[in-house]
């Protein structure tokens, strides 16, 4: 194959990657407009845009800015960090089945939050809940380093992470089992399912700094992932400190995913699925896969936010119908 043919092939691949990235970004933007318009009060995309820029009615501005915008922002940020974390871990481990839950950070964050709820120190809307979850996520990284050591091999890190993940899951179940208050157990169970409902800008401001910091840490290592795809020895010969890279990536995942789990509960599969959705289009280069995976994760979480708004709308309509029925029954007696 001639040099010119190779150049043309590379240019076609680059255009395909740019087109796919632009398409997924446009999909995310469309999902944002739909998410902000879906709910008990349906708003058109034009009304949503006007409300965002402060030119719509006062009611529309309150609905969009104060109620739906925090939910949508959290969905985008959490989906992005989960997709980015999944792609980063798959690049680090050179394994397409790697996911953010591999090293136990999400499970540990969930355990920290559950423990705070069970002890009566906070409820699901308290500011202390995400703080405890983030501290527990960092604690899992400290325990991982204590067990495996700073210079541990990949296999030891994975096994240690799985042990921490299993222990955190068992501890969560134990806390729920020992709780004497059934209402607390129910509250914990619903929180563990993961939800974007009733989130405010307080949750956004709490989680976003950790998510952004984790994303920056992971994205800054994109060139190291590319070198690591050639093997650890080759990466080391190219100047990559593989041991430091592992610690940096694990810490970034714990920081970002811990902040995400802290405000929404456990949300799974996005970190595993998002890189797989983009890999056939973008290719197997881990450096180029990071940003599209983050966008794919945002799109998946944005769809969940739309579903949340649709379910809330249906529930509100059912309640309205029940109220009307009760009111109708009360009219003859009145």
- Asked whether the CA dihedral 241, 255, 186, 326 is positive or negative, the reply is negative
Per-residue pLDDT tens over the stretch 281-334: 888 888 999 999 999 999 999 888 787 666 554 444 444 455 445 555 544 433
What is the number of other CB atoms lying within 10 angstroms of the CB of residue 80? 27
- From CA 147, how far away is CA 160, in angstroms rounded? 7
What is the number of other CB atoms lying within 10 angstroms of the CB of residue 3? 7
Domains and CATH numbers, the chain: 67-300 (1.10.3470.10)
Mean pLDDT, range 184-199, rounded to an integer: 79
- From CA 82, how far away is CA 70, in angstroms rounded? 18
What local confidence, expressed as pLDDT, does residue 98 receive? 81
Q: Between the CA of residue 181 and those of 55, 110, 173, 212, what are the distances in Å?
A: 48, 19, 14, 37
Residue 201: which residues within 8 A CB-CB, separation 6 or more?
A: 66, 70
Of residues 218, 246, 257, 235, the one with CA closest to residue 87: 218
Q: Between the CA of residue 166 and those of 111, 137, 160, what are the distances in Å?
A: 11, 14, 10
- Residue 215: HSE in the Cβ half-sphere, 13 Å Cα cutoff: 23
Kindly state the tokens that stand for 304.
């969940």
pLDDT-based confidence at residue 133 (cuts at 50, 70, 90): confident
The per-residue DSSP string of 301-315 comes to HHHHHHHHHHHHHHH
What local confidence, expressed as pLDDT, does residue 220 receive? 93
What local confidence, expressed as pLDDT, does residue 221 receive? 92
- From CA 234, how far away is CA 94, in angstroms rounded? 14
Per-residue pLDDT tens over the stretch 71-117: 899 999 999 999 999 999 888 888 888 888 877 888 888 898 888 88
Per-residue pLDDT tens over the stretch 251-283: 888 888 888 887 888 887 888 899 999 998 888
Per-residue pLDDT tens over the stretch 219-240: 999 999 999 888 888 888 888 8
Residue 276: which residues within 8 A CB-CB, separation 6 or more?
A: 96
Is residue 89 within 8 A of residue 150, CB to CB? The reply is no
Model confidence at 123: pLDDT above 80: no
Q: Between the CA of residue 133 and those of 20, 147, 157, 179, 236, what are the distances in Å?
A: 35, 21, 22, 19, 35
What local confidence, expressed as pLDDT, does residue 230 receive? 86
């Amino acid at each position: 194959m001639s040099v010119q043919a190779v150049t043309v092939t590379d240019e076609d691949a680059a255009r395909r990657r740019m087109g796919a990235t632009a398409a997924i970004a446009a999909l995310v933007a469309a999902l944002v407009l739909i998410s902000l318009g879906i709910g008990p009060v349906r708003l058109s995309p034009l009304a949503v845009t006007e409300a965002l820029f402060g030119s719509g009615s006062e009611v529309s501005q309150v609905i969009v800015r104060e109620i739906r915008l925090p939910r949508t922002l959290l969905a985008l940020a959490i989906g992005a960090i989960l997709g980015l974390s999944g792609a980063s871990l798959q690049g680090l481990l050179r394994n397409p089945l790697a996911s953010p839950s591999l090293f136990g950070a999400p499970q540990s964050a969930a355990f920290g939050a559950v423990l705070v709820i069970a002890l009566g120190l906070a409820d699901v809307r308290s500011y202390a809940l995400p703080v405890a979850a983030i501290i527990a996520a960092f604690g899992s990284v400290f325990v991982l380093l204590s067990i495996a050591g700073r210079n541990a091999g990949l296999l030891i890190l994975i096994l240690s992470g799985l042990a921490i993940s299993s222990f955190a899951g068992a501890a969560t179940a134990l806390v729920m089992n020992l709780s004497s208050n059934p209402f607390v157990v129910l509250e914990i169970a619903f929180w563990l399912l993961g939800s974007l409902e009733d989130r405010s800008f307080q949750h956004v401001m709490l989680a976003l700094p950790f998510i952004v910091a984790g994303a920056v840490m992971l994205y800054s290592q994109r060139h190291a992932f590319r070198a690591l795809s050639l093997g650890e020895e080759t990466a080391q010969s190219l100047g990559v400190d593989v041991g430091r890279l592992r610690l940096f990536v694990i810490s970034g995942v714990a920081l970002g995913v811990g902040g995400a789990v802290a405000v929404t509960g456990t949300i799974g599969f996005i970190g595993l699925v998002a890189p797989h959705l983009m890999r056939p289009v973008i290719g197997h280069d881990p450096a180029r896969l990071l940003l599209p995976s983050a966008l794919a994760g945002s799109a998946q979480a944005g769809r969940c936010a739309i579903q949340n708004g649709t379910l809330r709308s249906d529930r509100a309509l059912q309640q309205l119908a029940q109220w009307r029925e009760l009111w109708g029954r009360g009219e003859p007696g009145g």
